[in-house]
Amino acid sequence: MEIKAGPILATIDSPADLKKLGREQLNQVCDELRQYIIDIVSVHGGHFAASLGVVELSVALHYVFNTPYDQLVWDVGHQAYGHKILTGRRDNFYTNRKYNGLSGFPKRGESEYDTFGVGHSSTSISAALGMAMAAKYKKEDRKSVAIIGDGSMTAGLAFEGMNHAGVADADMLIILNDNNMSIDPNVGALREYLTDITISPTYNKFKDDIWKALGKLPVGKTFTREMASKLEHSIKSFLSKSSNLFESLNLRYFGPIDGHNITKLVDTLEDLKKIPGPKLLHVLTVKGKGYSLAEKDQTKWHAPGLFDKITGEIYKKKFDTPQPPKYQDVFGQTIVELAEKNDKIFGITPAMPSGSSLKIMMDKMPDRAFDVGICEQHAVTLSAGMATQGMRVFCNIYSSFMQRAYDQVVHDVAIQKLPVVFCLDRAGLVGEDGPTHHGAYDIAYMRCIPNIVVSAPMNEAELRNLMYTSQLEANEYPFVIRYPRGEGVMPEWKTPMVEIPIGKARKLKDGDEIAILSLGHPGNFAASAIRNLKADGLNPAHYDMRFAKPLDEETLHEVFAKYTKIITVEDGTVVGGFGSAILEFMAQHNYSAEVKIMGIPDRIVEHGTPKQLYNECHYDADAIADVVREMMKDKITILG
């Protein structure tokens, strides 16, 4: 089904076309852009509510600024759909997040208008500042604008960027898109601070007039612009605490203004473009604006999947038989079970309570489960602090987000040998979110740290058993449990929990000549391949290793003594990961075998469905079977 843009939007192939329009036409452009996003996402999927909330801002920015010469840096990228449609990608926007299609996030290789690749939050201010400082050095009259959500402002990197911007004397604008949401509702003192600004009648009445009044003062030899600026700052500070946070960092604060008033946005941006130096514009928006259901339930409509745009029905697959749960839901239910029996258990997540399913515990035990905002470093060290007092903390962070807290894992947890449990959700290839979100590296970056256990369950029962094992008093180590996005393999998943000896593998099947050593969920791919190989007369052994660290050396001695051909399979990078650990063991003990490592290749893997990416990266069931056949081709020939 072809989806057509509105009559004005259909004529906009670049911001240059947008600039040809009169201001009186911008409201219609916004209406058509909003409708086009609704039409496309309802049929093809993708992130939804965030981009609806910044339609007017997207139009105003490209209308006022000379993009791409002027640099727009979008934070995270959930909000950049309107930007993409206005910058030459309207007609192929239906390929968004699809295999070999447009990225769901800004991407430098995709368009000159995408000035900085994003996926993780809170990078925009630092990146835009770097661009502004470079422009100043090159004596270019180039504007740099960072568009950052209030949820992203909670991260330390955003404050580091603002702290430097205030003294860098570079011409940049920070636009604070304040909708009180990230994916879930925002938390913390910053949210309350911004709310104070929003509802302060004294300050809001005054702020609209102060620059007009100062502009009429007799600036000259006895009253300089520097004096006017100091007077403005003093009066603002006297009237309200509202501007102190940003202006104490030497950022000129403007706002808050209505982010859905396109005329006000254009006028304000035109004025700010003329003011040099670092400044911040506070814009109030509604996530999901223009689609009533998304406005009412912003978390649900962050990325709803396919839906009927008229009725709002979100399409769900229907099955005749019970289906396996998502791994995240097994985590969410299991931590509650464990916490009901162990009053030392706490749950912590950085801004992903719904995505990790920790919200289940937050609802049932609000005094023992916490969303700390987009603050991965804080989440890890907070967990470490609680662990020093005897608490058993399950710190749930997406695998790719854990990269941001690596120093804390090393210094605050591992060196001190604190038994924090790191549940790394979205491990491996995550699908349509692409390279910024793939959890490709955690096996490699965790297993090189002393004093740490690195594990991966093959199914839901194993996840429950690893969670149970990790919280036992006998475990004295930091404990990593990594598991993928999406469904497991066990419809009847709520099995009794039992302790797993740390570092102990399990032999699933004996075999002849060749053995498959799998880690985590890809063990199911291996099991499927083994079933399919029966028709070829091949009989591989299969070991679910469970642990990348410590390795089960007793089992590995058995494997290398018996089998001359070995395949390792993992949902992680082949460089330095589980397969590398097996090669290290082989070399250390002077074994000789033909070893094939299967996993995520040493390159950036783009977006697509998990099934497409497993196939591309050549470690799905068919690929494993092909490698077995290749390694055993002499036997197949003899049998033939």
Q: Which long-range contacts (CB under 8 A, 24 or more apart) does 617-626 make?
A: 617/429, 619/522, 619/525, 619/569, 619/570, 619/571, 620/525, 621/525, 621/526, 621/528, 621/529, 621/532, 622/529, 623/598, 624/516, 624/525, 624/526, 624/529, 624/567, 624/569, 624/598, 625/529, 625/532, 625/533
Query: Could you write out the DSSP letters of every residue in 529-552?
Result: HHHHHGGGT---EEEE--EEES--
78: annotated binding-site residue?
A: yes
SS3 of 70-129: CEEEECCCCCCHHHHHHHHHCCCHHHCCCCCCCCCCCCCCCCCCCCCCCCCCCCHHHHHH
- Phi/psi region, residue 520 (left: phi>0; alpha: psi -120 to 50; beta: rest), is left
431: annotated binding-site residue?
A: no
d(CA 340, CA 468): 12
512: annotated binding-site residue?
A: no
618: annotated binding-site residue?
A: no
Active site residues: 287, 376, 404
119: annotated binding-site residue?
A: yes
| 18 close to 64: Cβ distance less than 8 angstroms | no
DSSP letter for 480, please: E
411: annotated binding-site residue?
A: no
d(CA 202, CA 583): 68
The first and second tokens of residue 86, run together, are: 């206005």
| 329 close to 355: Cβ distance less than 8 angstroms | no
* Sign of the alpha-carbon torsion through 570, 572, 578, 581: positive
253: annotated binding-site residue?
A: no
150: annotated binding-site residue?
A: yes
Pairing state between β 71-74 and 506-509: unpaired
503: annotated binding-site residue?
A: no
Name the residue among 118, 115, 181 with its Cα closest to residue 154.
181
Distance of CA 571 to the CA centre of its chain: 18
521: annotated binding-site residue?
A: no
Distance of CA 443 to the CA centre of its chain: 18
From the annotation, which residues make up the binding site for Mg(2+)? 150, 179
From the annotation, which residues make up the binding site? 78, 119-121, 150-152, 179, 291, 376
From the annotation, which residues make up the binding site for thiamine diphosphate? 78, 119-121, 151-152, 179, 291, 376
